[in-house]
Structure 1
Amino acid sequence: MELLFLGILVLLMITALISGFPVAFSLPGSSIIAIGLAALAGWIFADNPNAYFHEGGPVQWLSAGVTNFRSLYWNVERDTLIAIPLFIFMGIMLQRSKVAEDLLVTMAQLFGPVPGGLGISVVLVGALLAATTGIVGATVIAMGMISLPAMLRNKYSHSLATGTICASGTLGQIIPPSIVLIILADQLSSAADQASAMRKAAYREITGEFSMPSALDISSASAGDMFMGAFIPGLLLVALYILYILFTAIIRPKMAPPIGYSGAYDRQFLVKVLMALLPPLSLIFVVLGSILMGVATVNQAGAVGAVGAMLMAGYRLHHRDERRYWPAFIAIFSVIALGFIVANFDLNIKSINTDKDRLGVTLGFVASATLLMAIAWSGWRVFKTGTTLHEVMGETAKTTSMVFIILIGAAMLTSAFRAFGGEELVKDMLTSLPGGFWMQFFVVMVVIFILGFFLDFIEIAVVVVPIVAPILLADPSANITAVWLGVMIGLNIQTSFLTPPFGFALFYLRGVADQLVKTISIYKGVVPFIGLQLLALVITGFFPSLVNYLPNRTYLTSESAPPPMNPRIQPCLEEQVLSLYANQEVSLIASIDTMAAVDASYLSSAATKILQDSLGKARQTFVKVEGIYQSKAELTDFEQSYEALHFQVRDIQLTVRRNKRLSEDARLQLRRLDDIELNATRKSDLEQRIVDLQQLNQHLEASIPATWAIQRPIFEKLNKAEKKSRNDYRRNVDEAYEGIQELRLWITQASTLAQTKADVADLASSIDQLDANGAMAAIKLQERNMGEFAGVSSIKSKLSKARRALKGSKYDPEKAKGYHSQAMEMLTAEILWRQRAVTDMAPALVSYDMAIKDSIGLRLQERMSVDLATTVSACMASHKDVSLQF
Structure 2
Amino acid sequence: MIAILMFIVALILLMVGIPVAFVFGGVSIVFAFLIPELGFDVFSVLPFRIYGIMSNTTLMAVPLFIAMGLLLEKSLMAEKLLAAMTSMFRTTRGGLAVSVVLVGAMLAASTGVVSASVVMMSVIALPLMLRAGYDKGLAAGTIASSGTLGQIIPPSIILIILGDVMSVSVGELFMGAVLPGVVLVGLYIIYILIFSYLKPDAAPIAEDLQFVGIKEIIVAVIPPLLLMVSVLGSIFVGIASPTESAAFGVIGALLLASLNRSLNFKMLQYAAMQTVKLSGMIFMILIGATAFSLVFNELGGTDMILEFFSDDIGDVWIFIAFAMISIFILGFFIDFIEISFIIVPILVPVMHAFGIDPVWFAILIALNLQASFLTPPFGLSLFFLKGAAGESIKTAEIYKGIIPFILLQIVALGLVMLFPDLVFAFI
Corresponding position of 1:649: none
- Seen in structure 2, the aligned counterparts of structure 1 residues 70 and 296 have a Cα distance that, compared at 3 Å, is closer
Partners of 2:314 and 2:192 in 1: CA distance: 37
Partners of 2:28 and 2:139 in 1: CA distance: 43
* Equivalent of 2:376 in 496, 500, 515: 500
* Equivalent of 1:28 in 18, 21, 25: 25
Corresponding position of 2:113: 135
**Alignment of structure 1 residues 666-681 onto 2, 5 Å:** none
Corresponding position of 1:63: 44
Contact between 2:90 and 2:209, CA under 8 Å: does it hold in 1?
no
Partners of 2:342 and 2:103 in 1: CA distance: 32
- Please say which structure displays the higher CA radius of gyration: 1
Aligned length: 427
Q: Would you say 1:315 and 2:266 are equivalent positions? A: no
Contact between 1:433 and 1:440, CA under 8 Å: does it hold in 2?
no
- Seen in structure 2, the aligned counterparts of structure 1 residues 81 and 393 have a Cα distance that, compared at 3 Å, is same
Q: Secondary structure at the match of 1:143?
A: helix
What TM-score, normalized to structure 1?
0.47
Query: 1:94 deviation in Å?
Result: 0.3
* Equivalent of 2:166 in 184, 188, 196: 188
Partners of 1:433 and 1:171 in 2: CA distance: 37
Query: 1:14 deviation in Å?
Result: 2.5
Corresponding position of 1:176: 154
Give, as a single letter, the amino acid of the residue that structure 1 aligns with 2:236. Answer: L
Corresponding position of 1:402: 281
Q: Would you say 1:526 and 2:405 are equivalent positions? A: no
Query: 1:301 deviation in Å?
Result: 1.0
Q: Would you say 1:538 and 2:417 are equivalent positions? A: no
Query: 1:409 deviation in Å?
Result: 1.0
Query: 1:35 deviation in Å?
Result: 1.2
Query: 1:418 deviation in Å?
Result: 1.1
Partners of 1:99 and 1:37 in 2: CA distance: 54
Partners of 1:264 and 1:413 in 2: CA distance: 56
RCO higher in structure (CA 8 A, sep ≥6): 2
Partners of 1:515 and 1:387 in 2: CA distance: 29
Give, as a single letter, the amino acid of the residue that structure 2 aligns with 1:177. Answer: P
Q: Flag structure 2 segments of 5+ consecutive residues without an equivalent.
A: none
Contact between 2:65 and 2:157, CA under 8 Å: does it hold in 1?
yes
Corresponding position of 2:10: 13
Q: Secondary structure at the match of 1:114?
A: coil
- Seen in structure 2, the aligned counterparts of structure 1 residues 273 and 403 have a Cα distance that, compared at 3 Å, is same
Partners of 2:77 and 2:8 in 1: CA distance: 44
Give, as a single letter, the amino acid of the residue that structure 2 aligns with 1:241. Answer: Y
Contact between 1:113 and 1:261, CA under 8 Å: does it hold in 2?
no
Q: Secondary structure at the match of 1:139?
A: helix
Corresponding position of 1:280: 224
Q: Secondary structure at the match of 1:176?
A: coil
Q: Flag structure 1 segments of 5+ consecutive residues without an equivalent.
A: 39-48, 51-56, 190-220, 319-381, 552-886
Give, as a single letter, the amino acid of the residue that structure 1 aligns with 2:181. Answer: G
Contact between 1:66 and 1:412, CA under 8 Å: does it hold in 2?
no
* Equivalent of 1:513 in 389, 403, 413: 389
- Seen in structure 2, the aligned counterparts of structure 1 residues 394 and 33 have a Cα distance that, compared at 3 Å, is same
Corresponding position of 1:491: 367
Partners of 1:298 and 1:141 in 2: CA distance: 26
Give, as a single letter, the amino acid of the residue that structure 2 aligns with 1:69. Answer: I
Corresponding position of 2:310: 431
- Seen in structure 2, the aligned counterparts of structure 1 residues 155 and 399 have a Cα distance that, compared at 3 Å, is same
* Equivalent of 1:232 in 179, 183, 186: 179
RMSD after superposition: 1.6
Partners of 2:39 and 2:86 in 1: CA distance: 60
**Alignment of structure 1 residues 50-89 onto 2, 5 Å:** 50=37, 57-73=38-54, 76=55, 78-89=56-67
Corresponding position of 1:296: 240
Q: Secondary structure at the match of 1:497?
A: coil
Q: Secondary structure at the match of 2:110?
A: coil
Percent identity between the aligned chains? Answer: 43
**Alignment of structure 1 residues 209-220 onto 2, 5 Å:** none
Corresponding position of 2:214: 270
Corresponding position of 2:202: 255
Contact between 2:105 and 2:153, CA under 8 Å: does it hold in 1?
yes
Query: 1:399 deviation in Å?
Result: 1.1
Partners of 2:3 and 2:375 in 1: CA distance: 28
- Seen in structure 2, the aligned counterparts of structure 1 residues 262 and 529 have a Cα distance that, compared at 3 Å, is closer
Contact between 2:33 and 2:40, CA under 8 Å: does it hold in 1?
no
Corresponding position of 1:481: 357
Query: 1:516 deviation in Å?
Result: 4.1
Contact between 2:10 and 2:24, CA under 8 Å: does it hold in 1?
yes
Q: Would you say 1:459 and 2:350 are equivalent positions? A: no
**Alignment of structure 1 residues 617-628 onto 2, 5 Å:** none
Query: 1:315 deviation in Å?
Result: 2.1
Partners of 1:11 and 1:480 in 2: CA distance: 27
Contact between 1:109 and 1:261, CA under 8 Å: does it hold in 2?
no
Q: Secondary structure at the match of 2:118?
A: helix
Partners of 2:50 and 2:186 in 1: CA distance: 41
Per-residue CA deviation, residues 85-132 of structure 1 (Å, 9 max, x unaligned), is 111111000001121122122212221211110000000000000001
Corresponding position of 2:350: 471
Contact between 1:80 and 1:222, CA under 8 Å: does it hold in 2?
no
Partners of 1:151 and 1:292 in 2: CA distance: 37
Partners of 2:373 and 2:211 in 1: CA distance: 39
Partners of 1:89 and 1:70 in 2: CA distance: 23
Give, as a single letter, the amino acid of the residue that structure 2 aligns with 1:129. Answer: L
Query: 1:8 deviation in Å?
Result: 4.1
* Equivalent of 1:243 in 190, 200, 207: 190
Partners of 1:390 and 1:469 in 2: CA distance: 39
Partners of 1:413 and 1:112 in 2: CA distance: 53
What TM-score, normalized to structure 2?
0.96
Contact between 2:4 and 2:301, CA under 8 Å: does it hold in 1?
no
Q: Would you say 1:144 and 2:88 are equivalent positions? A: no
Deviating beyond 4 angstroms after TM superposition, the runs of 4 or more aligned structure 1 residues are 261-265, 432-435
Partners of 2:423 and 2:181 in 1: CA distance: 10
Per-residue CA deviation, residues 695-731 of structure 1 (Å, 9 max, x unaligned), is xxxxxxxxxxxxxxxxxxxxxxxxxxxxxxxxxxxxx
